Amino acid sequence: MSEFLNVSENFMRKPTIEFLTEEPPAGLHIEVIREGAGEPIQAGKQIEAHYLGQVWNGNIFDNSYDRGQPLSFTVGIGMVIQGWDEGLIGIREGSRVVLSIPSEMGYGAAGVPQAGIRGGDTLVFVTDVVRVK
């Protein structure tokens, strides 16, 4: 269990996040909640992943669970924010991982106001790695 947050463990079910601290951990913080037994993610591999994105101690801004469709993308080539590109390397298929992503590895000083992400916000992504292709 993390000193920063609690996350529900049910793989492939929409997670809940309980924040235990006002301040996020420094830097990119990676925590495997459930270790999968599948192939580890390598840069350049395409994956399918369900995710929930939430501002640290704030609102959920996006999740794939409600859409019923995992996101498919290639890891490590800049298709997604830097925190996902770096934080998912080595994570195995079938894992649930939590990434606490500092602003400079997310959306920076600009944020994404239309999604409720302010400049400087730390983001939390609970990610279920469904498939590594």
* Alpha-carbon span 34 to 92, nearest angstrom: 10
What residue type is assigned to position 55 of the chain? V
The chain-wide mean pLDDT, for the chain, equals 96
Do 41 and 91 contact (CB within 8 A), yes or no?
Answer: yes
> What pTM does this model have?
0.95
* Alpha-carbon span 59 to 132, nearest angstrom: 29
Q: Which two tokens stand for residue 105?
A: 């590895």
E-state strands within the chain: 5-7, 17-19, 29-34, 46-55, 60-63, 71-74, 96-101, 123-132
Reported as a pLDDT band with limits 50, 70 and 90, residue 2 is: confident
pLDDT by residue (tens digit) across 16-48? 999 999 999 999 999 999 999 999 999 999 999
* Alpha-carbon span 116 to 59, nearest angstrom: 8
Q: Is the pLDDT of residue 63 over 60?
A: yes
